[in-house]
Amino acid sequence: MTQLKLLPGKDRSLQNRHPWIFAGSVDRLDGRARIGDTVDVVAANGRPLARAAWSPHSKIRARVWSFDPDEVIDDAFFKRRVAAAIERRAALPELRGQDGLRLIHGESDGLPGVVADRYGDTVVVQLTAAGPDKWRRAIVGALHKATGCARIYERSDVDVRRLEGLEPTAGWLLGEAPPEAEALSIVENGVRMKVDVVGGHKTGFYLDQRDNRLLTRELAAGRAVLNCFCYTGGFSLQALAGGAASVLSIDSSGPALRTAAENLALNPQLDASRAEWREADVFNELRKLRAEERRFDLIVLDPPKFAPSAAHAERAARAYKDINVLGMRLLNPGGLLMTYSCSGGIGPEMFQGIVAAAAVDAGRDARILRRLAAAPDHPVALHFSEGEYLKGLLVQAD
């Protein structure tokens, strides 16, 4: 097999089981390899280290499939990895009975560049790197065998594929779209939500916020709630289910808000008279609310990814600070702020610093009541801190 030889001293991260090999660590490629092919990774002295997927167009020149240099990468390998990921989730009591669930979480499940989410009897798969793209048939077959799902849809329509020398792609790989009368939906903590696997964000829904939406429900009783960047209303409907006195939800997307209203209609047990939806730029709308002297007891700030990489962190930090200053100024004394960042370029320590600076600018004394993260079906491998993309804080302000 073709060998990928590393420069002297560049094997330490692999010894610590980090699955990425950057271009700056590579000495040479001995032999020929096409995009996505499996190569043997060896240290400068020739010692075997791993087997990885070759990606000649990416700064991440290879992603490790196995740290066992003798393990064969074939269809059976993917069957084992997919089955193991699903079995790990089945062993967690808090994930049992969920009909919306992440089945594969990339590097943290030993499958770099592979994401798979299950919505009822539909699996949505996203392949973002050269290796998974090469093994598409094997991965899809393994998912079908392990889940028995009737439908598999691919959402590899992400720009990051271009960095791998791949074109974005999407479409049904198994089965076909359900009839309109059977539009896809899931039930999360007693609330039914529509899922648009074809046109929705990510794979159709933000499964990573499941536990945090439940916490919102537990905190909402009797409170005036403001949900910013509400998308299709996940936090909003959970707040209503928790007995919120009122819920104002803001998003710039009209289609998302229409879906949110449809979701509310799917749940007649919720008091729709307590819900208000506004289509507006969140930053501008928060300034208007302050001018109107509106105040809230619980505010959710779950903005989109402001920093896709560390190179964008400084600019993104300003946006995160601005939105948190605006939120802090709208809180009643003793009010609660649930604030999040899904930007990989913003680490937990940096995010806390941003929120702390926002509190100072807003003239508020505040304390962290709880640190928030993704649900347990989005695990973070100990050797892959980059997997901890979602971080949040539950803050109380005086």
Q: Are 303 and 276 in contact (CB under 8 A)?
A: no
Please report the beta strands in 91-235, taking only residues with DSSP state E, as ranges in sequence order.
Answer: 100-105, 114-119, 122-127, 151-156, 169-174, 185-188, 191-194, 224-228
pLDDT of residue 269: 98
Helices 75-90 and 136-147: angle between axes, nearest 10 degrees: 40
What average pLDDT score do residues 323-333 get?
A: 97
* 370-382 confidence digits (pLDDT tens): 999 999 999 999 9
Confidence of residue 220 (pLDDT cuts 50, 70, 90): very high
Phi, psi of 193 (to 5 degrees): -135, 135
pLDDT of residue 274: 98
| CA atoms within 13 A of residue 204's CA, in its CB half-sphere | 29
Please report, rounded to a whole number, the percentage of residues in the chain having pLDDT higher than 70.
98
Phi, psi of 8 (to 5 degrees): -55, 135
Confidence of residue 44 (pLDDT cuts 50, 70, 90): very high
pLDDT of residue 308: 62
Query: Is residue 50 pLDDT above 70, yes or no?
Result: yes
Query: Is residue 89 pLDDT above 90, yes or no?
Result: yes
As annotated, the residues of the chain forming the CATH 3.40.50.150 domain(s) are 206-397
Candidates 2.160.20.10, 3.40.470.10, 3.30.750.80, 3.40.50.1100; CATH matching 75-182:
3.30.750.80
Report the C-alpha gap between 42 and 98 in whole angstroms: 42
Phi, psi of 158 (to 5 degrees): -120, 145
pLDDT of residue 307: 61
As annotated, the residues of the chain forming the CATH 2.30.130.10 domain(s) are 3-66
* 90-102 confidence digits (pLDDT tens): 999 999 989 999 9
pLDDT of residue 314: 77
AA identity, residue 257: L
pTM as predicted? 0.93
- Give how far Cα 359 sits from Cα of 248, 266, 293, Å: 22, 38, 18
Report the C-alpha gap between 82 and 141 in whole angstroms: 10
As annotated, the residues of the chain forming the CATH 3.30.750.80 domain(s) are 75-182
Query: Is residue 267 pLDDT above 70, yes or no?
Result: yes
What average pLDDT score do residues 263-269 get?
A: 97
pLDDT of residue 182: 67
What average pLDDT score do residues 78-88 get?
A: 98
Residue (of 133, 121, 185) closest to 162 by Cα position: 133
What average pLDDT score do residues 1-27 get?
A: 96
pLDDT of residue 304: 86
Query: Is residue 39 pLDDT above 80, yes or no?
Result: yes
The CA-based diameter of the chain, rounded to the nearest angstrom, is: 70
* 137-184 confidence digits (pLDDT tens): 999 999 999 999 989 999 999 999 999 999 999 999 999 888 875 679
What average pLDDT score do residues 353-365 get?
A: 97
pLDDT of residue 309: 61
Confidence of residue 311 (pLDDT cuts 50, 70, 90): low
Catalytically active residues are: 342
Place domain 3-66 in its CATH homologous superfamily.
PUA domain (2.30.130.10)
pLDDT of residue 22: 97
Query: Is residue 115 pLDDT above 90, yes or no?
Result: yes
Query: Is residue 8 pLDDT above 70, yes or no?
Result: yes
Query: Is residue 310 pLDDT above 70, yes or no?
Result: no
Confidence of residue 341 (pLDDT cuts 50, 70, 90): very high
| Cα three-residue angle 315-319-325, rounded to 5 degrees | 140
pLDDT of residue 1: 79
pLDDT of residue 181: 58
Topology (CATH) of 206-397: Rossmann fold (3.40.50)
What average pLDDT score do residues 341-364 get?
A: 93
Phi, psi of 25 (to 5 degrees): -95, -10
65 vs 345, residue with greater confidence: 65
pLDDT of residue 393: 98
DSSP assignment letter at 150: S
Query: Is residue 287 pLDDT above 70, yes or no?
Result: yes
What average pLDDT score do residues 48-64 get?
A: 97
Q: Are 128 and 164 in contact (CB under 8 A)?
A: yes
